[in-house]
Chain A
Amino acid sequence: MMMKNLTHGHSLSQRCARLSLGLGVILTSGLAQAVNDLPGGPKVNQLNLHEPVTQIGVQQHFLHNFMLVVCIAIFVAVFGVMFYSILKHRKSLGHKPANFHESVAVEIAWTIVPFIIVIGMGALATRTVVAMKDTSNADLTVKATGYQWKWGYDYLKGEGEGIAFLSTLDVAHRIMSDTGKPAGDNYLLKVDNALVVPVNKKVRIITTANDVIHAWMVPSLGVKQDAIPGFVRDTWFRADKVGDYYGQCAELCGKEHAYMPIHVKVVTAEDYAKWVDGKKKEMAALADDPTKEWQLAELVARGEKVYAANCAACHKADGKGAGAIKALDASAVVLDAEHDKQIAIMLNGAANGAMPAWRTLSDTEIAAVMTYTKNSWSNSTGQLVQPAAIVAARK
């Protein structure tokens, strides 16, 4: 038995050595995949919090480092005692057990001292808690709305008031994820429209959501705030450095939870004014006239884009759906010559919100995507849904 155990131990240590060697090889090959730090986003093998660009972030950073140092000091002191005891007070060294088993003085001391320490820690953090919650006197107020699975931004107050857009993960990144071939320093963090804000201005973010709870998080700005459907919450930041800052949704919100990043672009006051100007012009140009009569081909072409951006994540590019997600291909509702039912589902959602309400899309977009589903895959109804029908249904 003894011999067997010994040989066992030998081969085990050999195996451990081989394993650690293999581990090293794997890790270095991992590093070989060309990835660099993303400024404003995660660094490669980052060990601590993001570099803060707001006062709150600086305080969070300080508090964390402070706590880490205090905890490590206590840890070393306490376990220094334990390991000293483990090394010295062994039966194998002939140490005889002492007989003490209580001491009121010691008990009181190690209740009071930790009490004072934790209250001190709390006192140190209190100022930051109060500062974090002070969202008054903002220069710019933006509403961030969580959708499954994208963010919507509405500039409510301040320079740029009235600007509104959706911010979605770059579709190429979603495809890279599905095919298991990720690449790029900003993998899963690249969006089509970044939230643009001016530097050194107090920006208040009001969060809410359309369907389930999301969370709007940007580590460099020191901000994380849940976005709760039916409720509004707020948070704020004042970035003191121009740059791009990245974050992701931090509250489980369904299957595409990992695919709704946040990109905040902090620019100078002049650049911000320029951006606002450009954005307003762009919005005016893009605004569809809902009374326009469309031709089938152009509406299908428009609808294809809307479908890819909003519908394909669940219903799939081939319209076949998956699992609980209904197929649109050969669906009776889609093929129906009466459009009311499909319009109602588009506007109000279905299946307890598993199919979201798409009221945020414009009349033209809803009409276009319906026309697209009616004339794609095996569906070839030739039916055309004009935006006017949606306008009527919304009333």
Chain B
Amino acid sequence: MSAVLDPQGQAGGHADDHHDHAHPYGWRRWLYATNHKDIGTMYLLFSFAMLMVGGVLALGIRAELFQPGLQFVNPELFNQLTTMHGLIMVFGAIMPAFVGFANWMIPLQIGAADMAFARMNNLSFWLLIPAALTLVGSFFMPGGAPAAGWTLYAPLTLQMGPSMDAAIFAMHIMGASSIMGSINIIVTILNMRAPGMTLMKMPLFCWTWLITAYLLIAVMPVLAGAITMTLTDRHFGTNFFNPAGGGDPIMYQHIFWFFGHPEVYIMILPAFGIISAIIPAFARKRLFGYTSMVYATASIAILSFIVWAHHMYTTGMPVTGQLFFMYATMLIAVPTGVKIFNWIATMWRGSMTFETPMLWSVGFIFVFTMGGFTGLILAMAPIDIQLQDTYYVVAHFHYVLVAGSLFGMFAGYYYWAPKWTGVMYSEFRGKVHFWGSLIFFNITFFPMHFLGLAGMPRRYADYPMQFADFNMLASIGAFGFGFMQVYFFLAVVVPAMRGKGEPAPQKPWEAAEGLEWEVPSPAPWHTFETPPKLNATATRVIG
């Protein structure tokens, strides 16, 4: 154990605070933070705050759509709500949350002392704050927040007020933050693994994040290019996307979705990694097909670069284009299916228990797969002609982003929070959170499939009366779902942060594997300051 901890750390290991080292206290600890655990915590709290902001906007949308006719907001504000909900959830909630998980867990899982570039790590977090303030603050600018949809399609963006520029700047800053985070993760994983932790022995969470980080570095500059061209079209007389000056609005969509489709996988691959850690732990059985999981993840990442135009079937591309993108898109079902099958094979003939992390993981597989199937249906170009830009698409991407990414993160929270905070959560409350979220999620989004099939377009402030009942149902579900997340914060997160609850053992899960369970709970301020010596499978520290 001496390699795991410095002596002071070991001494303070069981207390609920870690006063082991001379390090800054108070606000300095956070502003000047270079410790991966502190930065991870800040990322997670920041992204939860953004989840709440984005959630409030979503409830604004659902309140307006509770009944046909305009009751609460005018159409201008409605478009601002949908746009900002999307931008905040994607760039403020989901992406930073996974970086938070990476910060906390990657050094612990590979036996590294910290992230490779500690000060850059600090910068990449603190850049998010001005970016978020700029983005959210755009609501208070003349003309209100951007209202061109989160995809920011030209030439509608050229009509927006000054808030559009604010959003562009905010996204640039968030993009820079993401790229720095990715560089940090790649270098940490490639350079700082403990001796014996070969790439093919690494936990899958590290693998999925390694691949995600490469995706981020490949596509964030593409987004930056698209929105910079939008900016110069708006102010400097260029006409990249402005048809009045000979520009091509469809070129914007190509560039945006070349970013946007890998982005979808950026938001789901780390969740795959979390689920791949939890299922074996609670099935008490090794992960089935580790190697094929790695290759499947890499295949998904590579395929994600050649399917972007399936978002654009209705723009009128040539028949060969439609066919290529249809077939390529459907191929993604193959590696995704491999992952699902591997998880189920891991559960098969295991010895399962269903603590909260496992419930979220099983819920993830079940509901995420529904989103996968609707994705397959949408990939068929002739069907997509009916469903493009309807609520079916809204249902589809919430099934993969909420039931996928968000559920995966909740699974990860319940699994690792005992290590972070040193206290166990209440199983009862965790289960209430899970079942409440699962039920309300489906009440919210399942009826949207019907609305989309019936032709209700998305981003509509008002709708024909025939759509009223399903919209009402979706709105009721949305408020329930929102309430469950407030419950999660108040009943699960706050008590954990205040150290209330049963003290967590070093390894709370009987069959969990990995180096994070080789350090005490809560994980002391410094871990693995000298490289640990690992056993043959690189899952235990042996000296």
Contacts and interface: CB of A to CB of B under 8 A. Distances in A.
A351 B234 CA distance: 10
Interface stretch (A221-229, A282-290, A297-305): A221-229
B518 to A, nearest CB: 22
Interface string B142-186: 111001110001011011010000000000000000000000000
A132 B382 contact: yes
The SS class assigned to the B binding surface is helix
B323 interface: yes
Contact of B333 (A81, A118, A128, A215): A118
B142 A323 contact: yes
Contact of A60 (B70, B385, B428): B385
Interface stretch (A63-71, A336-344, A379-387): A63-71
A352 B156 contact: no
Interface string B448-462: 001001111101111
B71 to A, nearest CB: 5
A59 interface: yes
Given A224-B314, A228-B249, A252-B156, A119 B327 contact: yes
Given A71-B373, A211-B155, A252-B148, A177 B286 contact: no
A96 B351 contact: yes
Q: How large is the interface on B (under 10, 10 to 19, 20 to 34, 35 or more residues)?
A: 35 or more
A49 B449 CA distance: 11
B85 to A, nearest CB: 13
A27 B382 contact: no
Interface string B423-442: 00000100010000000000
A335 B97 CA distance: 55
Contacts of A122: 323, 326-327, 330, 380
The SS class assigned to the A binding surface is mixed
Interface string A174-199: 00111111111111110000000000
A248 interface: yes
Interface stretch (B47-55, B127-135, B467-475): B467-475
B188 to A, nearest CB: 27
B249 A229 contact: yes
Contacts of A229: 155, 243-244, 249
B288 interface: yes
B330 A121 contact: yes
Interface residues of A, number: 122
Given A125-B381, A223-B385, A33 B464 contact: no
A213 B156 contact: yes
B509 interface: no
B352 A91 contact: yes
A231 B253 CA distance: 14
Given A67-B376, A129-B319, 11 more contacts: A42-B455, A42-B467, A63-B382, A97-B283, A106-B345, A122-B327, A188-B463, A213-B249, A219-B455, A229-B243, A257-B457
Interface of A: 5, 8-9, 12, 23, 26-27, 30-31, 33, 35, 37-38, 41-50, 56, 59-60, 63-64, 67-68, 71, 74-75, 78-79, 81-82, 85-86, 89-92, 95-103, 106-107, 110-111, 114-115, 118-119, 121-122, 125-126, 128-130, 132-133, 176-189, 207, 211-213, 215, 217, 219, 222-226, 228-231, 233-235, 247-259, 322-324, 351-354
Interface of B: 67-71, 74-76, 79, 142-144, 147-149, 153, 155-156, 158-159, 161, 234, 243-244, 246-250, 283-292, 314-316, 318-319, 322-323, 326-327, 330-331, 333-334, 337-338, 340-341, 344-354, 362, 365-366, 369-370, 373, 376-377, 380-383, 385-386, 388-390, 428, 432, 450, 453-457, 459-470, 472-473, 476, 511
